[in-house]
Amino acid sequence: MTTATPNEVLLIAPVMENLQARLEATFVVHRLYEQADPVAFLAVKGETFRAVITRGDIGVTTPVLEQLPQLGLIAVFGVGTDAIDLNYTRQRDIAVTITSGALTEDVADMALGLLLATARQLCFNDRFVRDGHWLQKAPGLSVQVSGKRLGIFGMGNIGRAIAQRAAGFNMRIQYASHRQDTTLPYAYYPDLLALARESDFLVIAISGGKDSAGLVDKTVFDALPAHALVINIARGSIVNEKDLIAALQNGDIAGAGLDVYAQEPQVPAELIAMDNVVLQPHIASATQETRQKMSDIVFTNVEAFFNQAPLPHAIE
């Protein structure tokens, strides 16, 4: 009797521990991020891998893909594909799967959480209490969220989920996006600057990637009213971070709530120093429930791939 050799998979970056354990129980898992010399490792082992697993924020570089001649699947733990060259994967017929549907609600929750935390100064006031300042003076006033004008940049699944939540706060919801969805009851602005001019809060919810890089820049910060707050739960690359810092320093906008940054995990010292900025470490989808769903989806797709079954979460 011959025993089948387990399939070998390549992990580009760490994922949830229980997903790693599940993968290890079924496949032989190699960790590229633990290799002292990844290029030399792939020169020897690259040909054995037909599937890689990576994270949305990390993706996989084309030079790495070039060292994987047998590759048929990239299973992404996340929904972002901006760190993968999809033209290249299409050319090579490499399937890409994402954890679609699993994280929409959590990311929308985080957008509202950041908006409330920034406008109502939750983190600042938490420190105010802990540091004993309340014993000496009264807390300051913050900014109302309910009833304000919310501009959403990007009206995909996450944008819609944000709008749904904002409706509960009686906000006037409006959006800019590459096309209007006439089934939505929200005001549509074909132009981001026009949306910015009319928004008290701007939430960035478009996909990252080459097309959206740097779209939220000085021109947008200048167009926003000086009392505006900017929330980003999408990708750091969409915002020109230098322009954001300058806008906050000059008072062109009043504050920001950020989950994502240009060079994660580096967060500019200028942002860290500002009390009117709320910072999160790219954790919008990081709840136990969602991360479990994401893990299950990744595993299901890798398993389906090796069983030559249809991939339930393939893109395009």
| Site residues for ligand 8YV per CB under 6 A | 55-57, 77-80, 103, 282, 285
Active site residue 313: no
Q: To the nearest whole angstrom, how small is the minimum distance from the Cβ of residue 9 to ligand 8YV?
A: 17
Give the separation between CA 151 and CA 148, rounded to whole angstroms: 10
Q: Closest CB to ligand 8YV among 95 and 298?
A: 298
H/E stretch holding 54 reads strand 51-55
Q: How far is the CB of 184 from ligand 8YV (least distance, A)?
A: 23
Q: Has 264 been annotated as catalytic?
A: yes
**Which is nearer to ligand 8YV, 199 or 212 (by Cβ)?**
212
User: CA 204 to CA 152: how far, in whole Å?
Assistant: 6
State the minimum distance, in angstroms, from the CB of residue 307 to ligand 8YV: 25
Helix (H, G, I), strand (E, B) or coil at 223: helix
For ligand 8YV, the closer CB: 80 or 255: 80
Q: How far is the CB of 194 from ligand 8YV (least distance, A)?
A: 28
Nearest residue to ligand 8YV on Cβ basis: 56
Q: Catalytic residue among 235, 241, 291, 313, which?
A: 235
Nearest CB to ligand 8YV, comparing residues 56 and 159: 56
Q: Based on CB atoms, which residue is closest to ligand 8YV, 177 or 285?
A: 285
Distance separating alpha carbons of residues 263 and 245, to the nearest angstrom:
14
For the question of residue 235 being annotated catalytic, the response is yes
C-alpha pair distances (Å), 84 with each of 18, 267, 278: 25, 23, 29
Of 30, 31, 172, 264, catalytic: 264
Q: What is the rounded radius of gyration, in angstroms, for the C-alpha atoms of the chain?
A: 22
> Which position among 50, 55, 160, 282 bears the catalytic label?
282
Strands 229-232 and 201-204, bridge-based pairing = parallel
Q: How far is CA 56 from CA 108, 173, 294, in A?
A: 17, 28, 11
Residues forming a β-bridge with 103: none
DSSP per residue, 113-168: HHHHHHHTTHHHHHHHHHTTGGGTS--------TT-EEEEE--SHHHHHHHHHHHT
Q: State the nearest-atom distance from the C-beta of 5 to ligand 8YV, in Å.
A: 30
> What positions carry a catalytic annotation?
235, 264, 282
